[in-house]
Amino acid sequence: MRLFSCYLYPRWVFWRQALWVFALALYVLAGTSNVPFHGDEATQIFMSRDYGYLFIKDNPKLILYDTKTRQPYEQILRLINGTLNKYLIGLAWDMSGYTLDDVNKPWIWVFDFDYNQRTGHMPEPALLTTSRLPSSIFLASSVVLIFMLGKKIGGSTTAYFASLYYVLNPAILLNGRRAIMESTQLFFSLLVVLLGIWLLQNRSWRAAVLLGLASGLALASKHSTAFTLIAVFGAYGVYMLQDIVRGAAVQRRKQIARLLNRFALAALTTAGAFLLLNPAWWGDPIERAITVFQLRRLLLTIQWFLSPLKYHNFKDSLAGFVDQILFTRPQYYETAGWGAHIGKQISRYEASPWDGVSIGGSPFAVMLFTGILLIGLRALLQNRQTHGMQRWVFGLWFFIMLMFALFLIPLEWQRYYLPLYPIVGLLFGLGMARIVEWLRWSELMTTISMISYMMLYGRAYRHSIFRR
């Protein structure tokens, strides 16, 4: 009987974890159709015309960069936005029986909501729901990755709590379900971090290639994932150099050669995968990169000048960071007046059980949540079970994204903070795991506490809306 129990236990653990992840993924998918509309969804659906140019008309020349183009607006959108999401949207509506003629025009922000609605710039409801399917599927799939990262960094208890925070986070649910770039950005960013840890563990050329492919897809999802890539590649370089310095002098030359080979292979694969998905960059990638930087800086300047949510100094940035990370109330729109147009959609969404949980629903809750995060950070630094390579990857990822949030985000737009939420979730998971360890709860009590947590907070902050 004892031998039989030992044989069944690993399988039971696996199926229990799989059932947990599957249930969380279903929660993500369940609320897709009820998410309030955002104008950027219309623009992303419009950009999916590139899928039609490539795979329906079979004419890649229509999306190549051309300074004499008759469609300068489309060309600008191709350069400053990620491409992966628009191809996935195009695939979704193509498989659903839509054609290029059914695709709406891009959202024009200088005109009001009614004008865009009257003149064909808003997608029809069925097309909008279809276009959201890729985003929701990638967001649901990313639950697997956050669970795996939690196990890597702190074990099963960390994975349970980290994935729970991730799925109940209202900002992740709101933006990840919409037909915009955020869900693919989250998915491939988490995949890059996982593969970065794997490359450090086995240091094979296969791991380097897979990391490069994931990195190229991440960069093609949204350009700001470059900061995650810098963290992972930087952690790999620093950790390997540390190993080289500690190693014997005779072996250092071979170790350096292997380090540089793996690093170069991953970097070249990243560039190749990114360029393959960005035909507008073909011809002169360096010049395109400079153009993208200039266009992005111009766009941010315009957004900062027009937005009431702009930061004027570091104090504003710090206040916005605290508000977005600790309170995490859903920001349904960034433009004044939108509440009058999507207010009913917001009410319907919040009346459903699929809108997530704002943990920071009160000052006490924020203090408690902050304390758990600090315990998690302390556990990361002191836990001997967490290998040094994992600390390097996670620590550098956390530091770079923190610097990005505090010093490079010019507006209190929730979508800009989205890449930080998986990191916060992992710290939360580490903190809760340490608390469970201190209290010496059994595995059964841990599961019961997680269910109680969901029930307690499930509707605790349902009616508090971040309407700015």
H helix runs in 31-155, sequence order: 39-47, 49-51, 72-80, 84-95, 113-118, 125-154
pLDDT of residue 440: 62
Q: How confident is the model at residue 240 (pLDDT cuts 50, 70, 90)?
A: confident
Q: 185 pLDDT exceeds 90? A: yes
Q: How confident is the model at residue 237 (pLDDT cuts 50, 70, 90)?
A: confident
Arithmetic mean of pLDDT over the chain: 88
Q: 177 pLDDT exceeds 70? A: yes
CB 119 within 8 A of CB 71: no
pLDDT of residue 455: 45
The three-state (H, E, C) secondary structure of 257-277, written as one string: HHHHHHHHHHHHHHHHHHHHC
The share of the chain scoring above pLDDT 70, in percent, equals 88
Nearest CA-CA partner of 466 in 388, 356, 370: 356
pLDDT of residue 337: 87
Q: How confident is the model at residue 359 (pLDDT cuts 50, 70, 90)?
A: confident
* Number of C-beta neighbours around residue 447 at 10 A: 15
- Token pair belonging to 230: 């810098």
Q: How confident is the model at residue 439 (pLDDT cuts 50, 70, 90)?
A: confident
CB 153 within 8 A of CB 202: no
Average pLDDT over residues 37-44: 97
pLDDT of residue 248: 53
pLDDT of residue 466: 36
Q: 336 pLDDT exceeds 50? A: yes
The CA radius of gyration of the chain, in Å to the nearest whole number, is: 23
Q: How confident is the model at residue 447 (pLDDT cuts 50, 70, 90)?
A: low
- β partners of residue 331: 466
**The residue type at 39:** G
Q: For residues 382 and 430, what is the distance between their CA atoms, to the nearest angstrom?
A: 11
pLDDT of residue 55: 93
- β partners of residue 300: none
Q: 288 pLDDT exceeds 50? A: yes
If you search the block for the tokens 């994992």, which residue do you land on?
A: 390
C-alpha distances (whole Å) from 228 to each of 8, 60, 142, 187, 191 are 39, 30, 16, 12, 11
Q: How confident is the model at residue 247 (pLDDT cuts 50, 70, 90)?
A: low
Three-class SS state of 411: strand
CA atoms within 13 A on the CB side of 425: 32
